[in-house]
Amino acid sequence: MCRLFAFVSPDRSTAERELGDSGMESLRSLARLHGDGWGWAGVASPGDHPVLRKAASSAASDPAFADTMGRSVRAAVAHLRWATSGLPVRPENAHPFSSGRFAFAHNGSLKPIGLIRGMLTSEQLAGLEGDTDSEMYFTLIRERVAAGVPLAEAALEVARLLREAYPLASLNALILDRDQLVVVHACALSILSDDDLGAIARFDRLPDEHNEDYYALRWKHAADGTVLVGSTGVAGRGWQAMPPESVTAIDLRDRTSETVALAGARVPATVGSR
C-alpha cells in the first residue's frame, strides 16, 4: 500500500510548492509508515519524456527526497511505498516504474499475485525488473500501448480486466507521459486488513484523514489553474473525491480533463477551487 501525489501546472512548479509546508510535513509523517521506498517522475515541458528518481529508502530520512520534491517541472508524480507483505524492499520494487515513455505508480495490492502473473507472457515475465504485482499491472498497460492503444484507453482496459479478477482490490494508479496525467481511481470496495490497521495504530502523528478512507483519491484546482491529485493524508481538507471506479486523463498543456467510468460511461469531471 502506498501514498500518491501528483500535479499538473500551467507553468513550472514543484511538488514542494504545491503541497506547501503542511503538505510536506504530512508526507514526512506518512513516510514513517510508508517507508519502504519513495519515487518521483516529472515532465519538464509537455512533449518531454518523464524523468525518474526513486530509492528503496524512507523519504523521512533520505535527503535526496527533499531535493527531488523541489525540482521544477510542469507535471510530476510522487509515491511513498508501504511494501505488500512478502515483497522485498529494493530499488527495483520502488515506484514509479518507467518504460522511458511513461511512468506508473500504484496504490494497492493484487492478491493472489498468481492471477495477474498468469495474464503475462513468459517474455513479459522475464522482462520484469522487480517482484511486484504493481509492475505486472504496468506491464499489461504497456502491452496495450505498444499495440497502438492510447494510454488512457489502455489504462481503462486493464483496470476493467483487473476489476473482474480482483473485485475487492485497489487499482488506484497515476500514469504520467509526455502529454497527460492519467489517474485510475478504482477502490470502491477496498478496505485495509486487520494486520494493516494494527500496523497503522503503532504510528502516532499521522495526518487526520489517513485512516478515514485509506484508498480514496481526491483532487482540486488551485487558484492558478494547477490540478492537484492526492491520497488521503496527502490531499488537504476541501479537496473533492475523484469519480469512483473511473479513469481520468488530464492534458498537460491546458489541464482539461475527461473521465470515463469503468462501467463505460463518461462522467462529469469537475474539481473544486481553493
Q: How high is the pLDDT of residue 53?
A: 97
pLDDT at 274: 29
CA dihedral 110, 112, 116, 122 (to 10 degrees): 130
CATH second-level architecture of 2-273?
4-Layer Sandwich (3.60)
- Using one digit for the tens of pLDDT, what is the confidence trace for 5-46? 999 999 999 999 999 998 998 888 888 888 899 999 999 999
CA angle in degrees (0–180, nearest 5) for 137-54-25: 105
CA-to-CA separations, 239 to 183, 219, 233, 272, in angstroms, rounded? 16, 5, 11, 7
Q: Rounded distance, CA 50 to CA 244, Å?
A: 27
CB count in 10 Å sphere of residue 179 = 18
What is the grid cell recorded at 110? 493484487
pLDDT of residue 199: 59
What's the 3-state SS for the chain? Answer: CEEEEEEEEEEEECHHHHHHHHHHHHHHHHHHHCCCCEEEEEECCCCCCCEEEEECCCCCCCHHHHHHHCCCEEEEEEEEECCCCCCCCCHHHCCCEECCCEEEEEECCCCCHHHHHCCCCHHHHHCCCCCCHHHHHHHHHHHHHHCCCCHHHHHHHHHHHHHHHCCCCCCEEEEEECCEEEEEECCCCCCCCHHHHHHHHCCCCCCHHHCCCCCCEEEEECCCCCEEEEEECCECCCCEECCCCEEEEEECCCCCEEEEECCCCEECCCCEEC
For Cα atoms 129, 234, 263, give the angle at the middle one, nearest 5 degrees.
70
Please identify which residue in the block is written with the cell numbers 481511481: 185
The model's pLDDT over 125-150, given as tens digits with 9 standing for 90+, comes to 999 999 999 999 999 999 999 999 99
pLDDT of residue 273: 34
User: What are the extents of the domains in the chain?
Assistant: 2-273
10 Cβ partners below 8 Å, 6+ apart? 224, 225, 226, 255
What radius of gyration do the chain's Cα atoms show? 17
Low pLDDT (below 50) residues in the chain: 270-274
**pLDDT at residue 84, rounded to an integer:** 78
Residue with cell 517541472: 73
Distance of CA 128 to the CA centre of its chain: 19
